[in-house]
Amino acid sequence: MKDPAGEVERLRQELRRHEHLYYVLDQPEISDAEYDALMRRLRDLEERHPELAAPDSPTQRVGGEPREGFVKVRHSSPMLSLDNALNDGELRDFDRRVRELLGDAEYRYVAELKLDGLSMAAHYRGGRLAQAVTRGDGIVGEDVTGNARTIRSLPLRAAAGLEEFETRGEAIMNRRAFERLNAERDERGLARFANPRNAAAGSLRVLEPRITASRRLDYYAYLLLAGGRPACDSHWQSLEDLSRMGFKVNPNRRLCRNVEEALAFCAEWEARRDELPYEIDGVVLKVDSVEQQRALAFTAKAPRWAIAYKYPARQAVTSVEGIEVQVGRTGALTPVARLKPVEVGGVTVARATLHNEDEIERLGLHIGDNVVIERSGDVIPKVVRVHSPGSRRESFRMPSQCPVCGGTVVREEGEAARRCINTNCSARLKESVLHFASRGVMNIDGMGEALVDQLVDRGMVASVADLYGLTMEKLLLLERMGPKSAANVLGNIEKSKGNPLPRVLAALGIRFVGQRTAELLAGEFGGMDAIAAAGVEELQAAPEVGPKVAQSVFQFFREPRNRELVDRLRAAGLRFEHHAAPLAGGALDGVTFVLTGTLPTLSREEATRLIQLAGGKVSTSVSKKTGYVVAGQDPGSKLAKARELGVRIVDEAQLLELAGVS
């Protein structure tokens, strides 16, 4: 390579741009696999050219050794907490004080969501992340720089603007990451985190940055300081600046002219809080003008220019009428409380998960007890604690036989869950089929619970591979299944054969192998057979694959039953080879394509991505400049137009060949 330094810089910029698009703006332009490919290229180059190393390179997020403890750091100015307003009246009281203190001058408020995490200061020197410090007691916090560097939405290098500054903001864990973490802890027999805030705090304060990295924290900046003081004259402006500098700033904010507008913002987000992917516990209101902030000053504990409007916790008390046990895809038995229906924050709740038997013991729960339940977003409601014992209490014991198939149930050492070990258990099978067909996995539309129940109960499907043997005659035997919907389902099953290898791999339901891990494995090994043949160590050599995942994949392919399943899926025509997407600058540079009709395996989006990745363009109308028209089934008028203009017409197979991926 002529100019490794130039190439390294180009890759770093490219990766920074994609990190910003993905982690800050939530608008990725490329797939995880493509991102990983870029990262690998950069890593390779940096290894070959150690002289080009840089601490703010995107490869350097997880570095450094585990620490022995945290160093204490004094904050540039105290990190104060806020006074609370518990209802509209208290917020109006706050506003009245502000008005009086400002002597009738005009003022505005910035209303922001109050994220429920922990506050953290991040110091930048020369535009680079130099130090991150937890709030601690507000005067002195702990240096958590190594861990904070793993938070992808926290830029290692500010994109523009100030060189020396400090941001204060909230480190949070979103609900999905929280659920995933707890599910994983269940599997490993570890105690669950009670809420995303505790999980975020626990993850930021671990001594091993790798652990923080795996927890996928997020950081939202809400203050911009220089020399311990506000860096702008207006708070609103500082939020805009932070956003321009590449920080994640919550877009749900509003500049309010008076307290009524602020109250409207509070009410709006109280009603909409379930739409958010993370927990909020209220709204923070800040006087916008920094000059006015200065005039209002501080009490010993909190600023007089800001307040937290707190939402009530979404809890309710009700009684437990019974405990049912559900069986999941992996055979795990989950106890679920049947509740006397109760309204919590506008939703009627009749069931709440109890997770596992340890949790029931921890709660000291008996059937008949009155319990406090809590609903948070789309998370299934949970039992927080026993409120008072019921008058007629009955203790609950987890069954030693599967409630669905009667099979043996075991609890392995180190696991919180009991599992039904009967691989033919119909509950497990149904869950496996639903997982296989689900959106984002094999995407078999129409393969919902009602259909799967029938297919399994009638013995038509005893393995996911049987889906590919379904016929019109068989489907027509089912209830509520006419020829039209049957044809639809069959068409969708057929279409699913075109799914790329990572999806097939994720569809198998191997423990710990979700879409991302599947993509990494496919990228590393190139094909199903190589993955199936790999030893534990080889598997572990793949990026981000730890011993737990490696062991699980290895075990899966040692099981004769699973090998048979894989063979049958191969025979059905599923994709077992991985076509790594080529990077831009490829075979189709500058060529324009027009798509028409349904292609046999690629969706329109996939075909478009494929063309773009190889450097081509996709247009919606055919002209003389069109390079190729890709025609599938039931093409539209574009095909006729192409013929008329003499544009070359190709099918999917030819497209793949042109793009260099077949």
Residues with catalytic function: 114
CA distances to 491, 595, 600, 643 from 651, in Å: 19, 10, 9, 14
- 569 is a contact residue toward ligand IVH (CB under 6 A): no
Contact positions with ligand IVH (CB under 6 A) in 192-231 = 222
Q: Which is nearer to ligand IVH, 310 or 568 (CB)?
A: 310
Minimum distance of ligand IVH from residue 584's CB (angstroms)? 38
Minimum distance of ligand IVH from residue 114's CB (angstroms)? 4
Q: Which residues contact 373 (CB under 8 A, 6 or more apart)?
A: 315, 316, 317, 318, 339, 342, 344, 349, 352, 381, 382, 383, 384
Tokens representing 253? Answer: 């904010």
Q: Which is nearer to ligand IVH, 14 or 112 (CB)?
A: 112
Minimum distance of ligand IVH from residue 134's CB (angstroms)? 10
Q: Which is nearer to ligand IVH, 293 or 432 (CB)?
A: 293
Q: CA end-to-end span of the chain, whole Å? A: 28
Contact in structure between 560 and 532 (CB atoms under 8 Å): no
Sign of CA dihedral 638, 641, 647, 649: positive
State the CB neighbour count (10 A cutoff) for residue 140: 15
- 170 is a contact residue toward ligand IVH (CB under 6 A): yes
Q: Could you tell me which stretch among 301-309, 332-340, 530-538, 649-657 binds ligand IVH (CB under 6 A)?
A: 301-309
Per DSSP, 274 falls in state: G
Of 231, 288, 293, 276, which is closest to residue 108 (Cα–Cα)?
Answer: 288
Contact in structure between 177 and 204 (CB atoms under 8 Å): no
Q: For the window 527-566, what string marks contact with ligand IVH as x by the rule CB under 6 A?
A: ----------------------------------------
- 238 is a contact residue toward ligand IVH (CB under 6 A): no
Q: Could you tell me which stretch among 79-87, 93-101, 288-296, 650-658 binds ligand IVH (CB under 6 A)?
A: 79-87
Measured CA to CA, the distance from residue 213 to residue 30 in angstroms comes to: 21
Minimum distance of ligand IVH from residue 82's CB (angstroms)? 4
Amino acid identity of residue 217, one-letter, is: L
Q: Which is nearer to ligand IVH, 141 or 582 (CB)?
A: 141
Residue with smallest beta-carbon separation from ligand IVH? 119
Q: Which is nearer to ligand IVH, 15 or 115 (CB)?
A: 115
Please pick, from the candidates 80, 455, 522, 539, the single residue that binds ligand IVH as defined by CB under 6 A: 80
User: 3-state class of 361 per DSSP?
Assistant: helix
Q: For the window 89-128, what string marks contact with ligand IVH as x by the rule CB under 6 A?
A: -----------------------x-xx---x---------
| Residue showing tokens 């809080």 | 273
Q: Which is nearer to ligand IVH, 194 or 533 (CB)?
A: 194
- 78 is a contact residue toward ligand IVH (CB under 6 A): no
# of chain residues touching ligand IVH (CB under 6 A): 13
Contact in structure between 383 and 354 (CB atoms under 8 Å): yes
Minimum distance of ligand IVH from residue 334's CB (angstroms)? 33
Minimum distance of ligand IVH from residue 248's CB (angstroms)? 12
C-alpha angle 252/255/257, rounded to 5°? 145
Minimum distance of ligand IVH from residue 472's CB (angstroms)? 57
Task: Please state whether beta strands 218-226 and 84-85 pair in parallel, antiparallel, or not at all (unpaired).
Answer: unpaired
- 510 is a contact residue toward ligand IVH (CB under 6 A): no
Minimum distance of ligand IVH from residue 96's CB (angstroms)? 20
Q: Which residues contact 142 (CB under 8 A, 6 or more apart)?
A: 70, 71, 72, 73, 133, 134, 136, 205
Q: Which is nearer to ligand IVH, 61 or 114 (CB)?
A: 114
Q: Which is nearer to ligand IVH, 239 or 352 (CB)?
A: 239
Minimum distance of ligand IVH from residue 117's CB (angstroms)? 7
Contact in structure between 282 and 114 (CB atoms under 8 Å): yes
Please pick, from the candidates 133, 158, 262, 284, the single residue that binds ligand IVH as defined by CB under 6 A: 284
Of 390, 391, 392, 425, which is closest to residue 407 (Cα–Cα)?
Answer: 425
- 288 is a contact residue toward ligand IVH (CB under 6 A): no
| Residue showing tokens 């609903």 | 375
Q: Which is nearer to ligand IVH, 101 or 405 (CB)?
A: 101
- 396 is a contact residue toward ligand IVH (CB under 6 A): no
Buried b (16+ CB within 10 A) or exposed e, 573-599: ebbbebbebbeeebebeebbbbbbbbb
Q: Which residues sit at the interface with ligand IVH, rule CB under 6 A? A: 80-82, 112, 114-115, 119, 170, 222, 284, 303, 306, 308
